[in-house]
C-alpha cells in the first residue's frame, strides 16, 4: 500500500510549504493529438504565457511555430530521457521560471504528469511551491475513437503494452481480467520491435475470451498528417503486428460483442438501446 501521507507523516516541512515566494510555475500541458486545432484554448494560452517549453523533441516539433518562437527557451530532448527531462522542467521552475512541460495527448495518460509529482515527492517539495498544475488534453484514445466513429461509447479500459515500467506479468493479468467483461479495451504502445512478444501475448489472451470476429479499430498517428486508420477483427489482428500500421504511436481499440461495423465506421453503443429504441 502506498503511504497516504496524512498531516502527521507528511514529508513536507514548514519551509517547503506553498507560499509562492519562489515565483516559479510548472504546468504539465497535454497538447492533444498533435496539431494546432486539436489543442484546447487553455493549453494554448498556457504555452503562450510561459518562458520555457520543455518536451520530447517530436512533441515540441508538433507545436505551432509561433509558440516555439515566442518561448524564451525551448528544451527538446529525445526518447528515453523522460526523468531527466522532467527534472529539467522542475529545476527551472524551482529557479523561478515559468515552465510548460509538454506532451501529446493528456498529461495523465502514460505521460509526465505523474513523473513531476514523483520527482517533487522524492525531494520533499510540495507541488504548490512551484504552483504545479496539470492542463488536460484530448488523449489518444479519444482522438482515435473519433476517427473510427463511436467505438468507445461504453465502459472502457486503457492498457499500455509497454513493460518498461509495468511488469509483463501485470499487463498479462490485467488483460486476462478484462477480456471476459463487456468493456471496450484501448491498447496503448501496442508494438515495437523489441516488444513483439507483448503484442502476440495480448492478442492470444483477447482471442481466448472474445469472439474472433470482434471488431478492432486501429489508428496510427491520430489527427496527424500521416494518420492511418484500419478496421479489422480480433482473428486478423496478430498478423498486423509486423505491419507498418502498428508502432508506438498507434492506438488499438478492441470492441465488445455489442460493437457493430459499417464500412469503416465502428459503433459500440453504451447499452441504453431501449431508451433510444434503435
Partner 1 sequence: MTDWPRAEHLARPNPSQTDDGSAGKLVVVGMGPGSPAHLTRAAREAIRAADAVYAAPLYQRFLRADGLLGGETDHAEERDQSDGGPVVIDSSRRDRRSQAAATFGRVRDGDTVVHISGGDPAVYGKSDLLVTLAETEADGEIPIEVLPGVTAALGGAALLGAPLSNDFCTLSLSTARRDREAIDRKLEAVAGAGFVIALYNVNRSLGSALDVIETHRSGSVPVAVLEDVARGERGRSPTGETVTVTTLAALPEEIDVVTTGTLVVVGTEDSRVLRPANGGRPFLVTPRDGSAPLSDGGGEHGG
- Residue 72 or 208 with smaller CB distance to partner 1: 208
Cβ 235 to partner 1 shortest distance, Å? 21
Q: All 3 cell numbers of residue 161?
A: 503494452
Cβ 53 to partner 1 shortest distance, Å? 16
Residues 6+ apart with CB under 8 A from 33: 104, 105, 138, 140, 143, 222, 223, 224
- Residue 72 or 81 with smaller CB distance to partner 1: 81
Cβ 71 to partner 1 shortest distance, Å? 19
Q: Residue 263: phi, psi to the nearest 5?
A: 60, -120
- Residue 5 or 200 with smaller CB distance to partner 1: 5
Count CB neighbours of 169 within 10 A: 9
- Residue 118 or 239 with smaller CB distance to partner 1: 118
Q: Residue 53: phi, psi to the nearest 5?
A: -115, 125
- Residue 23 or 72 with smaller CB distance to partner 1: 23
Q: All 3 cell numbers of residue 83?
A: 526523468
Cβ 146 to partner 1 shortest distance, Å? 4
Calpha distance 142→105 (Å, rounded): 9
Cβ 75 to partner 1 shortest distance, Å? 15
Cβ 213 to partner 1 shortest distance, Å? 18
Please give the helix or strand (H or E) that residue 157 lies within, else none.
strand 156-160
Rg (CA), the chain: 21
Q: Name all contacts of 34-38 with Cβ < 8 Å and 24+ positions apart.
A: 34/59, 34/62, 34/104, 34/221, 34/223, 34/224, 35/62, 35/223, 35/224, 35/225, 36/64, 38/138, 38/143, 38/223
Cβ 99 to partner 1 shortest distance, Å? 16
- Residue 11 or 72 with smaller CB distance to partner 1: 11
Q: Residue 191: phi, psi to the nearest 5?
A: -150, 135
- Residue 72 or 256 with smaller CB distance to partner 1: 256
- Computed from CA positions of residues 208, 211, 213, 214, in that sequence, does the dihedral angle turn out positive or negative? negative
Amino acid at each position: 500500500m502506498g503511504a497516504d501521507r496524512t498531516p502527521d507523516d507528511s514529508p513536507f516541512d514548514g519551509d517547503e510549504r506553498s507560499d509562492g515566494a519562489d515565483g516559479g510555475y510548472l504546468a504539465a500541458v497535454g497538447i492533444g493529438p498533435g496539431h494546432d486545432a486539436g489543442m484546447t484554448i487553455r493549453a494554448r494560452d498556457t504555452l503562450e504565457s510561459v518562458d520555457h517549453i520543455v518536451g520530447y523533441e517530436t512533441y515540441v516539433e508538433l507545436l505551432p511555430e509561433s509558440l516555439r518562437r515566442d518561448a524564451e527557451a525551448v528544451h527538446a530532448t529525445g526518447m528515453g530521457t523522460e526523468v531527466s527531462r522532467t527534472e529539467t522542467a522542475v529545476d527551472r521552475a524551482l529557479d523561478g521560471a515559468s515552465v510548460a512541460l509538454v506532451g501529446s495527448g493528456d498529461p495523465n495518460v502514460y505521460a509526465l504528469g505523474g513523473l513531476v509529482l514523483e520527482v517533487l515527492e522524492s525531494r520533499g517539495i510540495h507541488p504548490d511551491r512551484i504552483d504545479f498544475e496539470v492542463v488536460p488534453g484530448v488523449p489518444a484514445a479519444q482522438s482515435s475513437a473519433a476517427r473510427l466513429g463511436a467505438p468507445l461509447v461504453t465502459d472502457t479500459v486503457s492498457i499500455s503494452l509497454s513493460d518498461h515500467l509495468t511488469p509483463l506479468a501485470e499487463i498479462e493479468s490485467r488483460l486476462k481480467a478484462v477480456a471476459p467483461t463487456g468493456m471496450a479495451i484501448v491498447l496503448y504502445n501496442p508494438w515495437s520491435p523489441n516488444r513483439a512478444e507483448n503484442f502476440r501475448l495480448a492478442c492470444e489472451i483477447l482471442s481466448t475470451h472474445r469472439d474472433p470476429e470482434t471488431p478492432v479499430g486501429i489508428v496510427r498517428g491520430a489527427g496527424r498528417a500521416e494518420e492511418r486508420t484500419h478496421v479489422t477483427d480480433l482473428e486478423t489482428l496478430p498478423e498486423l503486428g509486423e505491419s507498418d500500421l502498428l508502432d508506438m504511436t498507434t492506438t488499438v481499440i478492441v470492441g465488445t460483442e455489442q460493437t457493430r461495423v459499417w464500412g469503416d465506421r465502428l459503433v459500440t453503443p453504451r447499452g441504453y438501446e431501449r431508451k433510444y429504441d434503435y
